[in-house]
Amino acid sequence: MNNPKLILFTGFLGSGKTSLLLKTARHLAQQQKQCAIIVNEVGEIGIDNLQMKKMGYDVWEIFGGCVCCTLAVSLEETIEKLTANYAVEYILMEPSGAADPKALFQPLKHCGFAKENLNNVFILDPTRVEMFEAVLEPYLESSIPLADIAVINKIDVATAPELEKSEAIIRKYNQTVPVLKINVNELSDNQIEEILK
């Protein structure tokens, strides 16, 4: 079995997970790196089904030879099937909005994912951070300590106080996690490499 790196994109609905996941996949495809995307439903990543070549029951080929598959069975089975059939170096996954990231780690451990092969990218939308803090604090409290990297995105539209507030919230729950500030539409290769680390 090959030993792919799994990149999890976590955060609230609308925070920018899919956007960053697709940018990362395109970057990998350009670097001729084999990658797979796991989604709950194909429609979720917003790529027209017609642009995707069906390769099997629930696997499609998308840009640059990346494959995309649905989480039709358990996460363990999906990953086993992927690694058995495709020589993927990276698996990119956006857990469903309601999923508690904590609940993902046990099944991932079962399929042999060591900590160094797992990168949990937590994305925080600074333009909505006040609202998140007020009503979704338990989610922040359970997610941010588990992050390997915290991304504050939308720097093209956020105000300076919103950015400061976002960083303060991340630091409140995790004093050591690296923080990366991005505009997803102007990502540098270095920023993507940080996400893949």
Ligand X SMILES: Nc1nc2c(ncn2[C@@H]2O[C@H](COP(=O)(O)OP(=O)(O)O)[C@@H](O)[C@H]2O)c(=O)[nH]1
Rule CB under 6 A: say whether 184 interacts with ligand X. Answer: yes
- Distance of closest approach, residue 61 Cβ to Mg ion, in angstroms: 21
Rule CB under 6 A: say whether 156 interacts with ligand X. Answer: yes
How many residues in total does the chain contain?
Answer: 197
Residue count at the site for ligand X (CB under 6 A)?
Answer: 16
Piece of the chain touching ligand X by CB under 6 A; list 12-20, 23-31, 49-57, 114-122 = 12-20
Picked from Mg ion, ligand X, none, the partner binding residue 31 (CB below 5 to 8 A depending on kind) is none
Query: How far is 154 from 183, CA to CA, in rounded Å?
Result: 5
Q: Which is nearer to ligand X, 51 or 106 (CB)?
A: 51
Strands of 40-134 (E only): list them: 53-56, 59-61, 67-70, 90-93, 118-124
Interface mask (CB under 6 A) for ligand X, residues 18-37, using x and -? xx------------------
Rule CB under 5 A: say whether 18 interacts with Mg ion. Answer: yes
Kindly state the tokens that stand for 123.
């994305």
Piece of the chain touching Mg ion by CB under 5 A; list 17-25, 67-75, 126-134, 163-171 = 17-25
Kindly state the tokens that stand for 145.
């300590």
Q: How many CB atoms lie within 10 A of CB 11?
A: 27
The helix (run of H) or strand (run of E) holding residue 181 is: strand 179-181
Nearest alpha-carbon partner for 148 in 119, 172, 173: 119
